[in-house]
Amino acid sequence: QAQLVESGGGSVQTGGSLRLSCAVSGLTLADYYMGWFRQAPGKEREAISCISRSGQNTYYIDAIKGRFSISRDNAGNTVHLQMARLGPEDTDKYYCATDPGSCGPAWMNSGRYIVWGQGTQVTVSS
Q: What does the pLDDT look like over 33-50, one tens digit per residue?
A: 999 999 998 999 999 999
Residues 6+ apart with CB under 8 A from 89: 63, 124
**Cα gap 28→41, rounded to integer Å:** 32
**Mean pLDDT value across the chain:** 96
- Amino acid letter at 27? L
DSSP code, position 53: S
Banded pLDDT at 99 (limits 50, 70, 90): confident
Banded pLDDT at 123 (limits 50, 70, 90): very high
**Minimum mean pLDDT range among 11-15, 25-29, 108-112:** 108-112
pLDDT of res. 104: 85
Q: How far is CA 79 from the centre of its chain?
A: 8
Percentage above 70 pLDDT, the chain: 100
pLDDT of res. 101: 87
Banded pLDDT at 54 (limits 50, 70, 90): very high
Residue 85 has pLDDT above 90, yes or no: yes
Banded pLDDT at 100 (limits 50, 70, 90): confident
pLDDT of res. 26: 96
